[in-house]
Structure 1
Amino acid sequence: MSMRGGAAPRAVFVPPTRWALWRQGPRVITYYLVSETLAVVLTLRPSPIEVDRRTVAILGVLLALGVLQSETGRRVERIRRRVASTPHINMTSVWTFAGVLLLPPPLLAVLVTGLYLHLAMRSWYRLQRVPASRTVSNAAIILLSCYAAQGVLRLAGLDDVRSAMTHGWAGTFAVAAAGVTFFVVNALLVLPARREIGRTPEALFGTWADNGLEVATLCLGALNALAVATLPGLVVLVLPPLLLLHRTVLVRQLEVAAHRDDKTGLYNTSGWHALAERTLAGAARQRGTFGLLMLDLDHFKQVNDTHGHLAGDAVLRAVAEAIIAAVRGRGDAVGRFGGEEFVVLLPGIAHQDIAPVAERIRRAISALTVPVGQLKVTGLSVSIGIAAYPTAGTVLQRLLDAADTALYHAKATGRNKVVHVADLV
């Protein structure tokens, strides 16, 4: 942020009445305040671990390395934030979980606060999706997750990783249980803090890759703590693999983003086509079947003309979520072909089971109520065309043409209906 004359203070110091917090809605505001208050109360409670020079030195090492890792990966972190379509998972668990195993609550709070303050000031300050209230809430949630993990250690009769080392396998299981607790509590505490809660497991908790990243950082955090407790100099060895992991995750996110539609998070045309071609090749080798649905929202132009394009975008996102919720599971692929047209791939489905899935989608969209500011968009409907492999064709374009023919027939004969191309023969 450039500093010119008196403009900078106004950009940095926002009056409390204009905080982004107050635009979040009563539920989110209440949750923010309650969780942050609870984090403060738990921080001030008495701790069985004494604060001495050694623990202060450990705090300094973890905080310094966390800041160093954040600085060296700052550009990568910003890009990951921008391209993420699911809940964002950063790398702070490497340091915060080590703090769980080494620090008393007051110093653990200093560690979490320092790490998130640095992230906010250096990595996220240009991103409009990360207001200060969100950063404070995220830090409070991480701190509560840390305290829950420490609670597991206390139940096992352990103060820190050094005492766990004297208990053999019992200590190992206690540390593992603390890591699992951190993971689960953090995943659950994040949900109420969101303004819009997703309807699918992926939207709620992230992808398998996202959660695998969190597990990996927790494992590195445990190894960090063990290194500090035994040979402190070895803790710096975590930085090279951590930075490499950070960049590897970015590459994967960029690959996924290149095949995703910006507005809905569904597959875009190229991404869906690539997946459909692989599915077709597999079905040809194994003599299998799959279904293909072409969907078009009825009278969508009226939504844009009446409520504006932002409302239209909200409707598209709601429709995308409704389709995902109505299909069978992770194997089914939903794409957006542009405008108000969607396509669904149903691998390995029997021909007689395709129409019920399509009908379920149609009913789900008809039941939608989409809030747009102070108004609500209702009365949506969709026309759907069905084609099945191999009866409707053995190449992808032939199947798409067949489904599109059925879709056109549904539009021409009253809309808000499902038509199978086989019924037109």
Structure 2
Amino acid sequence: MAPRHWTLWRQRPRVVVYCLLTEAAAVALTLRPHPVAVDRRTLLILATLLLLGILQSETGRRVERIRRRVSGTPHINMTSVWTFAGVLLLPPPLLALLVAGLYSHLALRSWYRLQRVPASRTASNAAIILLSCYAAQAVVPDIRTALTHGWAGTFALAAAGVTFFVVNAVLVLPARHEIGRTPEALFGTWADNGLEVATLCLGALNALALATLPGLVLLVLPPLLLLHRTVLVKQLEVAAHRDEKTGLYNTSGWHALAERTLAATARQRSTFGLLMLDLDHFKQVNDTYGHLAGDAVLRAVAQAIISAVRGRGDAVGRFGGEEFVVLLPGISEPDIGAVAERIRRAVSALTVPVGQLTISGQSVSIGSAVYPRAGTSLQRLLDAADTALYHAKATGRNKVVHVADLK
């Protein structure tokens, strides 16, 4: 593909600039003079890490492609098992070769033709990983030095792992097209981060094995492949409760979560709120621009709703068509109106690029209900919120109506 057709140029200007800057920084740091001499043993370590990384990638290639398709959060690809070992064993130029080799293989074999992973994204991710590796190397020079310093060396290795984790988490944020508001949207779930920590730990053990008894490095592969498949099973379980077009909870997934919230709220004698939302005149979008454009609008609306809710604990679902529902645990009647109004304004402000066109002027009608005043069962709460939504539609649309105001 010619450079002018690269996916990178279709990103937001800030993303384009940031990606180019991080890639330039990675190249500059790699090409700077390095006093460390490269001997035969170091080259053998590079070859071992690269070959094992490729072997692991090939063995888990189908799993990795499925994980990429179903992943709706920041994706952990497990290369840290090899790159963090490289941090502790290789000089910067060879570390750069290791990262480039692993990510080139992933792009050509595991992520080939996956829409979420264009070549520009792979290059940007590799540059960010390399910068994270260099930051970690600034904390600890190599594992052999750490081995001679007892507990101090152990703490230095741990500090290098923390540095890699934090720098990578921070550097990846500006490279995203959309930056979420919630901690989960920004940095992933506890499970995602736990997986990254696990791969860093395996990377440290890899380095220790290669520095002492190189043959032991093969023992890392079986648990790593098992971990890979275990993570896939978890992601598939999550995907079964997600709407394919928007990434929101689907009807069954949202209902299951809402029932658990209702039970917990009843035990704690607390409150929670429901919002029912329906896009106004959405059929005109499909009729005028086509269903693909309509899907793009739905995805944009979903992200607008997510950005407007309060954060962790709030759950947004799609009930099919152009109807959405929001669960707001622990909210009171005076506060639910502020959230609903924030969502309404966010949807009204949307401009959705579709090819050469831009779709704007969307609006949403919203009905709200709060437990227990509007009902003590989930179905009664949904019916109450739906009644308020119908009233919003019937009295002009693009407005918020509360069940409490109808009585």
Q: Which interval holds the TM-score relative to the shorter structure?
A: over 0.9
Are 2:183 and 2:312, in contact at CA under 8 Å, matched by a contact in 1? no
1:34 equivalent in structure 2: 21
For 1:91, what is the secondary structure of its paired residue? Answer: coil
Q: Does 1:138 align with 2:120?
A: no
**Which one of the candidate residues 352, 357, 367 is aligned to 2:334?**
352
**Which one of the candidate residues 178, 198, 218 is aligned to 2:200?**
218
2:377 equivalent in structure 1: 395
Q: Aligned ranges for residues 141-180 of structure 1 at < 5 Å?
A: 141-153=128-140, 159-180=141-162
Gaps of 5+ in 2: none
**TM-score, normalising length: structure 1:** 0.89
Structure 2 counterpart of 1:166, which letter?
A: T
Are 2:71 and 2:235, in contact at CA under 8 Å, matched by a contact in 1? yes
**Which one of the candidate residues 398, 403, 407 is aligned to 1:416?**
398
Structure 1 counterpart of 2:54, which letter?
A: V
For 1:338, what is the secondary structure of its paired residue? Answer: coil
Which whole-Å CA distance do the structure 1 matches of 2:33 and 2:2 have between them? Answer: 35
User: How big is each residue's C-alpha offset from its partner over 1:190-218, in whole Å with a ceiling of 9 and x where there is no partner?
Assistant: 23333444454433332222222111111
Distance 1:25 1:409, change over 3 A: closer
Which whole-Å CA distance do the structure 1 matches of 2:376 and 2:122 have between them? Answer: 52
Are 2:180 and 2:307, in contact at CA under 8 Å, matched by a contact in 1? no
**Which one of the candidate residues 177, 183, 189 is aligned to 1:207?**
189
Sequence identity (%): 84
Report deviation, 1:287. Answer: 2.9
1:245 equivalent in structure 2: 227
Are 1:199 and 1:321, in contact at CA under 8 Å, matched by a contact in 2? no
2:292 equivalent in structure 1: 310
1:182 equivalent in structure 2: 164
Q: Aligned ranges for residues 245-324 of structure 1 at < 5 Å?
A: 245-324=227-306
Which whole-Å CA distance do the structure 2 matches of 1:30 and 1:290 have between them? Answer: 43
Are 2:313 and 2:329, in contact at CA under 8 Å, matched by a contact in 1? yes
Are 1:164 and 1:171, in contact at CA under 8 Å, matched by a contact in 2? yes
1:99 equivalent in structure 2: 86
Structure 1 counterpart of 2:245, which letter?
A: K
Which whole-Å CA distance do the structure 2 matches of 1:98 and 1:37 have between them? Answer: 24
Aligned length: 407
Report deviation, 1:417. Answer: 1.8
Which whole-Å CA distance do the structure 2 matches of 1:129 and 1:287 have between them? Answer: 44
User: How big is each residue's C-alpha offset from its partner over 1:287-326, in whole Å with a ceiling of 9 and x where there is no partner?
Assistant: 3321111111122222333333333223222222222222
Are 1:100 and 1:150, in contact at CA under 8 Å, matched by a contact in 2? yes
Which whole-Å CA distance do the structure 1 matches of 2:17 and 2:372 have between them? Answer: 55
1:335 equivalent in structure 2: 317
More deviation in 21-30 or 105-114? 21-30
Distance 1:138 1:392, change over 3 A: same
Distance 1:38 1:289, change over 3 A: closer
Structure 1 counterpart of 2:372, which letter?
A: P
Which whole-Å CA distance do the structure 2 matches of 1:87 and 1:372 have between them? Answer: 24
Which whole-Å CA distance do the structure 2 matches of 1:337 and 1:244 have between them? Answer: 35
Structure 2 counterpart of 1:84, which letter?
A: S
Which whole-Å CA distance do the structure 1 matches of 2:49 and 2:75 have between them? Answer: 22
1:5 equivalent in structure 2: none
2:48 equivalent in structure 1: 61
Which whole-Å CA distance do the structure 2 matches of 1:313 and 1:423 have between them? Answer: 33
Report deviation, 1:122. Answer: 1.9
Which whole-Å CA distance do the structure 2 matches of 1:104 and 1:409 have between them? Answer: 67
Which whole-Å CA distance do the structure 1 matches of 2:175 and 2:373 have between them? Answer: 48
Report deviation, 1:132. Answer: 2.6
**Which one of the candidate residues 210, 219, 223 is aligned to 1:228?**
210
Report deviation, 1:173. Answer: 2.4
